[in-house]
Structure 1
Amino acid sequence: MRMKHSLWLVSTAMAFVAQPAFAQAETAGTAETPDNTIVVTGYRASLEQARDVKRNATIIQDSIVASDIAAFPDLNLAEALQRLPGVAINREAGEGRRVSLRGLGPDFTRVQLNGMEVLGNVDSPQDSRGQNSRDRAFDFNIFAAELFNRVDVQKSYSAEQTEGGLAGTVGLYTARPFDYDGTKFVVSAQGGTNTLTEDFQPRLTGLVSRNWGDFGILVSAAYSHRKTREEGVDTYRWRLNEPYDPADGSGGSYGSDISNLTQDEQDAINAGGLRFPRGNRYSVWDSKQDRFGLTASIQWNPADAVHLTLDGLYGQFKADRFETHLASRASFGSTWLGGGTTHAGVTYPNSTINAIEWNDQNEVTYLDVSGGNTASETRIQNTKNTFKQVVFNGDADLTSRLKLTVLGGIERSSYDMPLSDKFYTEAFGDVVSDYRGGTYSLVNSFGWDTGDPANYHAHEIDMSANYQDTAFDNVKGKLDYEVSSGDTLSIGGEWRRFKNSGYSQTADNVLRSSFQDGSVSDDISGYATSYTGFSGQDWVVADYGKALSQLGVSRQAQLSDPQNVFAVEERTAAGFVQYSWDHDLGSIPFRGNIGARYYSTDITSTGIANVGSLSVDGHYDGILPAANFIFELNPDLLLRAAAARNINRPSLGAMAVNGSVSEENGEYSVSVGNPQLRPYKSTDLDLSLEYYFGKVGSMAAAVFYKTLDGFITTRTDNDVPYSATGLPTDLLPGLTADTPVQTFSHPVNLGKTDLYGIELSTQTDFTFLPAPFDRFGTALNFTYVDSNFDYSTIYSGGADTRLEGLSKYNGNATLYYQDTKFDMRVSANYRSGYVYSAAPITSGGGQDQDLSGYAPTIYLDMSAHYKLTDNVQITLDAINLTNQHEKQYSDSTKRLYVNTRSGTTLMGGVRFEF
């Protein structure tokens, strides 16, 4: 009902703003200035400017350009990027978060901000999406899109570019004063809601820019507040039961009474090999988010041939999260099996299985249980992400033929999660779990009042905190020497320091034994309430602050000393030489560049192992050749070819040396990260044909091929000398370089594969149609990419499947309308299913899954603007109009893992420009 109401609001609002627009329509997307110059405006202007950037680039790239001041085409950077060919995104709470480029996951896309490499991490509240993971993926939801006026996606590589990013580089650019004439003042205010949260979501943006001849200052700011919700069903994967062992009663039904079942059903359960869903969970993830961003830019041209720019950006993203679940939590990995216990003097028997069904894959799809052990989980999280960057850019013509360009910058970012605690309550009752409605369906029917606190008792508290910091320091410069007209020789150098560090604190099973033996009251009536936020089912949640107060628990006293302490520092020196030209090859204009880049990286990884601190060094270097060729076959037809070598640095978690060294009965075991990992390496070949027509029209077809080498896996070596671990011998008494180590687990580089694909794109106005249809236009793109890898070569039990993060098919279709008053566009984005993690997960009964992944999605978004005056504009945006679900699957057989929805977001507002 809420969804129908929202769609009605959108259609009504669009009809309201469109009616006068069609009536007053003039030449599509143009405005006339006092000197009679025709200026293209709106979304069409964004397409035209982006097309010109693409056409003039020496490398293969696509761009997004803001059509006006503080008027980026989308509210979210990642969602804007997904409109480009070859780009796919993943989402968090309905909002774009990370970018995958040409089939490679977010870890393989390098991000630059105002010319300097950066890393900004938020996180996911869901464990299935890698909460607290240490990686090199940039989270684009940390910033408001209005702070930026251009984004480039660079898909081929040149020697002058910083090495890294096998998939490509995303370049973000904030606004600068010389982008605009004179004085500019812009204020935008929006308000909206979401169909699940039904709250008010303000969004404010402001920009002030002033130029005084050769000097200018610009300041912009953006703030938004919103409440998000993801709700749905999930499992903790599925688990094979082990055969029944009469010696200790393990396996089979794990103590559940199965006497009501047929003999064949009992025999099948006792034989093992049935796969039971774990968790059987109803879930809600709520978050209150505050996002603030501030940019400042100073430009000064002290002489005609000298240009100086200082850019600063500050971003803060805060989230207060509330998460709750109603789930099974009995024996055998939180299934409905077993679960009997004695708690506070009361004995609860194991569950009774009344009925069971399974499918051809031996997956249990229906289970009727009496006395099932049920848990309600309340989780509270507070997170804060801070990002700071200052970058200086300058260039000067030293002579008529020699130009110097320099950059210096620093970035500091932090991720703080001081509170991430869970409170569990426990209950026992009848339940039916039914998965027969489809792959991503779960219906639980409870035979007791799940919303009555009297039916529960306190079970345990888990506490944790997590902190991470990132630092980038960067200095680079180059000299461009004009050898002759159209020929330039460039040489340059770069120094970078990157450091990622952090630690965690934990306290698990707090008060569990005290609740169980009755020494602390398990009565929750003083701090528990009924939660009614999940459609069709209520359950009990804890007021966490009140619970700690009544129980007399101090978090500070419970949390451990810092653990999992790590710091990874990379220091890189690089240099390049590149030759560029712009000539005719016969009668064909021919431009391009060819060059090579040398890099040398030193690594220091420090951490605290189980017996103390340690520090390990690493080093790698190499040469990366690159070439880009552009043939202008005719004034409107370009043929591009590119070839290069590139690298991608190892994951941060794999290089962190915090691990363990242990000895038992004279046998030694070592588990540690590996700062001596080599980077991933690739050889890239690209070919692109581009045709340009009209004011905004273009058609392009590109093919690409990559060889990828150096995949990272954790390998266990047996019976090696201690010297092979690379660790100091003072970690345990008696260790020497020759001491035999029975098991040595560490990440290594192993495995290679090929990746190939094709990109097709077109954009055009419908000027060939009669009015008013000639004011319509479209932008379409489609990407096919494929690459298989046999993960069993690096993981025991791994699958032969597509690369992690690779969607075989991606596409975007945008239909737009624009006249002098009104513009509107509707965009649909398709992403086919993909593997999220190819690392198998095993348990005592066997393998839970060989991989996990996401099902295909189609997101439908809309944006519209109506110009009341030259200075005032009304805006309307709708995101995820169809309330697309995010569906995660477990294993190659695609069993239900998570199925959530996040609702439709509607935003309306007004924009003033002077």
Structure 2
Amino acid sequence: MITNKFKLNSVLISMMLAAGTTAQAQQATDETEVINVTGIRGSLASAANIKRESTGVVDAITAEDIGKFPDTNLAESLQRITGVSIDRANNEGNQVTVRGFGPSFNLVTLNGRQMPNSSALASAGISRSFNFREIGSETVSAVEVHKTGRADINSGGIGATIDIQTGRPLAYGGFKAAGSLKGVIDTSVDTGSKVTPEVSAMVSNTFADDTFGVLFAVSHAARDSHTDRVGTQGGWATGYPGQENPDTSAIDTTRNPDLNTWRVPTVDLDAQDTERERQNAQLVLQWAPNDDITATFDYVLSRLDEKSTMNRTSFWFDNVQTGKADVNGTIINPARENDELNFWAWEYAYKTENDSVGLNLEWQASDSLSFDFDAHQSTSHANPGGLPAEVVTNLKNPFGDAAPVTIRADFSTDMPSVSYDDSALPGGAFNKANIEGDLYQERGYEIENTITQIQIDGRWENLDDGGLVAINFGYSNTVYEVDSDNIYSANFALGGDELDLTGLDLTFSPGDIGFEQRSTFSAAQFMDLVRSQDKYNPASHSRNGIEEDTNALYVSFDFDTDFNGMPFTANLGLRHETTDVTSYSVLKPTIGFNWITPLQMSAILADDEVTTILDGKYSHYLPSMNLSLEIQEDLVARFSYSNTIARSNIGSMFPATSLNLHRSGGPFKASEGNPNLLPYEAKNLDLSVEWYYDDASYISVGHFRKEVDNFIAIREEDRVIEGPSGLLTDPSVNPRGNCPEGTVADPIAACVSQPTDPVITWEFSVPQNIDSTEVNGWEFNVQHMFGETGFGAIANYTLVNETDVYNPYSLVNDFALTGLSDSANLVGFYEKEDFSIRVAYNWRDEFLLAGGNSPTFTEAYSQIDVSASYDINDTVSVFIDAINITDETTRRHGRFSNQIIDFEQYGARYNVGVRASF
């Protein structure tokens, strides 16, 4: 286990405590005007002022009033900014994409501090990407999106650095309080509460002649929801499920000359119910004993508790006997005899606990010299206690010639349909007498991600030397540490009479897409039967971790002068970073396989764990240049150039080898991490013009170009694997005895891998730094206030292009960038006296969600949201928010439109409540 090498020493702690306690102050080089905003127009005026006065290209959203951020979800607010688009999870904004660069390419900070992230679901992996669902918006005063690099900003964001700023008691001054109570009305709810509460409160006060301040904020949010889904799983791929001699006569050989065909293992009909609770709290203490010193302490807490139950009725094509390809190569009518229907139940249950403690000291050492010292330790802990976060269980019809079911699917259109012949089963496939157990899987992560960071910033100003007005300098040390425990248990041999289902409550309701009925049962109840009948296999654990220790130094120069009579400002800087990387894996290696069912071969693990530790190191010089020229009054031109980096996903850097798929007859798929991955490196160029023609009204046009090196992609190659007992072999190729038989806990010797069995050739996936790519685009934005009428409007559009576009007909797509898409917003509002209303339309074009040989594309999506409020008096207002009022759906597909992956429907959501401020 890697230990945290960085500790706050007693000298630093004593110095900070002597000065007082603190939180993070705003970056010293961002001297933006503070505006006391109220209302939509005031918020937009404040955001426009931040954009105009900032160094580089910065867009912002500010609160309309204390405790009143424009949207209840921060990601949904950010999507209103030009160049920013979002992913949605369960019909909520989840993660952001900036200028075509997805969540892992953007750095999210809280008051300038880098924040950790963790997730318990195996499907989510281990990512650096911040989850905006975990933070309520009630205590947020502003969010700034820094689209250009700067020496004093932490590295890690190629797309942007997004800084979430929260309130400070000394900035508010005096007594302030705000609170809200609302009901969340989710029209999708099937089971659970259609109306759930959200409560928030904040109180801030200053004492001793405004030299000491306290702010405390708390919020609680609950939401129940329902999702209906039609889709597939396993990915559209060549060669799986197996099929001999498909009909390829319809393929267009001008586009697909190799007659490649793509098939998918399943067709699914899902219904999922979710309960989510979120708690946020913040405590801020500030002390300013004199005009030269301000000390702050803060503690930020968030808790996310999410539970879901899901039932799925599906086909699983273990192989495809017949099928015809369409013009592209998609097998559109797969069919198989002597098969079965599958009845699945899922249960998700996990928690995420986030805590951040910070100390900050601002010191005006002299009229010209100031310092800002900041230290924090922040932790994100997913699934504390290490229980499985996901439980998967399955029932099925008896398999084989004795009671065959013929299954067929139709993928000729965008919505699939199924059909089946169950006439050989007396009573049919949905008769409980014809349903037996099949399998269970328990899986998930326990992850603890800790960031410990010290930052020291200095500013020497009032130089008045040839236009040089300030020199900025600083040092930071950031230790990024992740420890993960991958939990897995399974039993794939629960068919026939192996599991007594007498106590299982299995019911059916009307189906869809050709399934006569939907199945419903409890995964938890199924697991109770497994345990009570002694069919549970002990969970295996594999532990992985990484530690990145980064030291950074920077210096930058601020200039303010005239050029041919035009005001000219510049910030020129250089940042140097050195990162030491140590990664480890601890697991029991696979020594062979146990063939227990016609399809499943379970891995046989060694008795002893093996630990692998690898080290790496890299350094970067990151120059930046941000120039602005006021061509004439209110007309500003900008030029920016910078080098930035973004580090690879954590899960890609673990040294362990993972055996991801090992079924009888194949395919055999494995992957391993690469601890020596270098960060993505980007050279960024920005040109923009902004015209601030009236109060809170402006037009901006910007062009950006990003050249990205060290692009990380997956290389696939064929390998054999040497286990502790020799090469891994396949016992299913030449069957012995009555194999397959036995269980995971009680293997039959004849069904276990022998050295004389054929050696398995694995399809290995390895992340590597491959090559480079280029992204360029345009941003257009108009924000206009119609005089004093109370009406206003915002329209923006982002156009993004990449040199390496995913080719659906190619089997090699190394460089296609995920998240790349055009986007647009159109917002209209009216605000007069006590009443305000806003209508917001958001659109995002189709984008590549996941690459590789089985890609996922998210189709174009648009959504309309409406919000309105009425001030009863100076203190109390009532409001209503309507989200996704047209009940838009989300659809994802593979290489081609009819290769459906997900079609999800959520429904509209409404918030109705009352807000008060004092």
697 and 376 in structure 1: CA distance in 2 versus 1, 3 angstrom threshold: same
| Counterpart for residue 593 of structure 1 | 571
The partner residue of 2:501 within 500, 523, 534 is 523
Q: Which residue of 2 aligns with 1:183?
A: 175
Tell me, yes or no, if the aligned pair for 1:410 and 1:474 is still in contact at 8 Å: yes
1:747 paired residue among 756, 767, 770: 767
Please state how far the C-alpha of 1:650 moved relative to its aligned partner: 2.0
Partner of 1:846: none
Residue of 58, 64, 79 corresponding to 2:76: 79
Correspondent of 2:538 among 559, 580, 583: 559
**Aligned counterpart, 1:288:** 275
How far apart, CA to CA, are the structure 2 residues paired with 1:376 and 1:139?
32
Of 389, 410, 413, which residue of structure 1 is paired with 2:380? 413
Query: 2:345 corresponds to which residue?
Result: 378
| In structure 1, C-alpha distance between the alignment counterparts of 2:103 and 2:111, rounded to whole Å | 20
Q: Which residue of 1 is the match for residue 638 of structure 2? A: 640
Q: Counterpart in 2 of 1:48? A: 45
1:784 aligns with 2:799: yes
Q: CA deviation at 1:285?
A: 2.6
More displaced 10-residue stretch of structure 1: 360-369 or 113-122: 360-369
Which residue number in structure 2 is paired with residue 666 of structure 1? none
How many angstroms apart in 2 are the aligned matches of 1:825 and 1:389?
Answer: 35
Q: 1:214 aligns with which of 208, 211, 216?
A: 211
Letter in 1 for 2:804: F
Q: 2:47, 2:535 → 1: CA distance?
A: 53
Measure, in 1, the Cα distance between the counterparts of 2:441 and 2:238. 27
The partner residue of 2:136 within 128, 140, 144 is 144
Equivalent-residue separation in structure 1 for 2:646 and 2:534 (angstroms)? 40
Which residue identity is paired with 1:863?
S
Distance 1:466 1:488, change over 3 A: same
Measured in 2, the distance between the counterparts of 1:624 and 1:801 equals 24
Aligned to 1:845: none
Give distance in 1, aligned partners of 2:475 and 2:173: 35
**Which one-letter code corresponds to 2:493 in the other structure?**
S
Give structure 2 stretches of 5+ with no counterpart: 1-34, 251-257, 398-403, 590-608, 660-668, 728-760
1:908 and 2:905 correspond:
no
Give runs of aligned pairs for residues 597-608 of structure 1, distance below 5 A: 597-608=575-586
Return the match for 2:318 from 317, 325, 331.
331
Tell me if structure 2 keeps the 8 A contact 1:624–1:644. yes
Distance in 1 (alpha carbons) for counterparts of 2:75 and 2:420: 39
Shift of 1:322: 0.7
Q: How does 1:287-436 map to 2 (within 5 A)?
A: 287-332=274-319, 359-366=326-333, 372-416=339-383, 418-427=388-397, 429=405, 433-436=409-412
Question: 1:302 is matched by which residue type in structure 2?
Answer: P
Partner of 1:54: helix, strand, or coil?
helix
Unaligned runs of 5+ in 1: 1-37, 125-129, 245-249, 254-261, 266-270, 338-352, 662-668, 723-728, 735-741, 769-773, 841-848
2:782 corresponds, among 751, 762, 781, to 762
1:313–1:531 CA distance, 2 compared to 1 (3 A): farther
Amino acid at match of 1:831: R
CA distance in 1, matches of 2:841, 2:783: 15
Could you tell me how far 1:466 is from its partner in structure 2?
A: 1.7
Q: 1:615 to 1:202 in 2, by over 3 A?
A: same
Displacement of 1:534 in angstroms is: 7.6
Alpha carbons 2:771, 2:815 under 8 Å: kept: no
Distance change in 2, residues 1:49/1:745 (3 Å): closer
Q: Which moved more, 1:581-590 or 1:681-690?
A: 581-590
Cα distance between partner residues in 2 of 1:88 and 1:95:
13
AA aligned opposite 2:204: S
- Higher alpha-carbon deviation: 582-591 or 870-879: 582-591
Of 799, 805, 811 in structure 1, the residue corresponding to residue 819 of structure 2 is 805
Aligned residue runs from structure 1 range 8-27, under 5 A: none
Most deviating of 865-874 and 451-460: 451-460
Contact 1:529–1:543 under 8 Å retained in 2: no
Structure 1 residue 181: Cα displacement:
3.4
Write out per-residue CA displacement over residues 470-506 of structure 1, whole angstroms, 9 at most, x where no aligned residue. 0000001122112523611122111110011201121
TM-score under structure 1 length normalisation: 0.81
Distance between the aligned counterparts of 1:292 and 1:442, measured in 2?
42
Distance apart, 1:673 and its partner CA: 2.4
Counterpart for residue 341 of structure 1? none
- Does the alignment pair 1:439 with 2:414? yes
Contact 1:688 1:700 in 2 (8 A): yes
Change (3 A) 1:747 1:362: closer
Alignment equivalent of 2:96, drawn from 99, 103, 108 = 99
- 1:145 match: secondary structure: coil
Q: Percent identity?
A: 24
Give the structure with the higher percent helix. 1
Q: CA deviation at 1:462?
A: 1.5
2:834 aligns with one of 821, 827, 833 = 821
CA contact (8 A) 2:388 2:442 kept: no
Q: 1:707 to 1:555 in 2, by over 3 A?
A: farther
Q: Out of 367-376 and 644-653, give the one that drifted further.
A: 367-376
Q: 2:628 aligns with which of 627, 630, 653?
A: 630
In the aligned structure 2, how far is the partner of 1:817 from the partner of 1:69?
A: 20
Distance in 2, matches of 1:162 and 1:897, equals 37
Contact 1:153 1:170 in 2 (8 A): yes
Report the secondary structure of 1:100's partner residue: strand
CA distance, structure 2, for counterparts of residue 555 and residue 192 of structure 1: 43
Cα distance, 1:556–1:80 mapped onto 2, change above 3 Å: farther
Residue identity matched to 2:350: T
- CA positional deviation for 1:541: 2.8
Provide the residue aligned with 2:441 in structure 1: 462
Aligned residue for 1:549? 528
Aligned length: 791
Identify if the C-alpha distance between structure 1 residues 304 and 145 changes in structure 2 by more than 3 Å, giving closer, same or farther.
same
Cα pair distance change 1:502/1:776, threshold 3 Å: same
Instruction: Quote how far apart the aligned CAs of 1:453 are.
Output: 3.3
How many angstroms apart in 1 are the aligned matches of 2:909 and 2:847? 26
Partner of 1:496: 478
Query: In 1, Cα distance between the equivalents of 2:151 and 2:858?
Result: 36
Q: Which amino acid aligns with 1:306?
A: I
Verify the 8 A CA contact 1:473 1:498 in the aligned structure 2. yes
The one-letter amino acid paired with 2:382 is Y
The 2-side partners of 1:239 and 1:711 are apart by 24
Q: Is the 8 A contact 2:372 2:456 kept in 1?
A: yes
**1:543 Cα deviation (Å)?**
2.5
Q: Which moved more, 1:156-165 or 1:552-561?
A: 552-561
Task: Quote the Cα distance in structure 1 between the aligned partners of 2:911 and 2:240.
Answer: 53
| Residue 159 in structure 1 maps to residue 151 in structure 2 | yes
Deviation at 1:274, TM superposition (A): 6.2
SS at match of 1:146: coil
Structure 1's 477 and 528: CA in aligned 2 closer, same or farther, altered over 3 A?
A: same
**Distance of aligned partners of 1:452 and 1:557 in 2 relative to their CA distance in 1, 3 Å threshold:** closer
Alignment match, 2:740: none
How far apart are 1:59 and its partner, in Å? 1.9
Deviation at 1:533, TM superposition (A): 9.2
CA shift, 1:211, in A, is: 1.2
Aligned to 1:513: 493
Q: Find the counterpart in structure 2 of residue 684 from structure 1.
A: 684
Structure 2 CA distance for aligned equivalents of residues 554 and 402 of structure 1: 73
Deviation (angstroms), 1:678: 1.5
- Partners in 1 of 2:771 and 2:807 — Cα distance? 10
Counterpart of 1:473 in structure 2 is: 452
Separation in 1 of the partners of 2:793 and 2:802? 30
Structure 1 residues 555, 64: closer, same or farther in 2, change over 3 A? farther
Asked if 1 retains the 8 angstrom alpha-carbon contact of 2:340 and 2:406, the reply is no
* Distance in 2 (alpha carbons) for counterparts of 1:630 and 1:243: 58
| Counterparts of 1:310 and 1:263, CA distance in 2 | 68
Q: 169, 174, 185: which one pairs with 2:161?
A: 169
Distance 2:898 2:559 in 1: 52
Q: 1:264 to 1:299 in 2, by over 3 A?
A: closer
Cα separation, 2, equivalents of 1:639 and 1:76: 33
User: Quick one: structure 1 residues 112 and 419, their matched pair in 2 at CA, closer, same or farther if it must change by over 3 Å?
Assistant: closer
Report the CA distance shift for 1:454/1:419 in structure 2 as closer, same or farther (over 3 A): farther
1:203 counterpart = 2:218 = no
| In 1, Cα distance between equivalents of 2:293 and 2:236 | 64
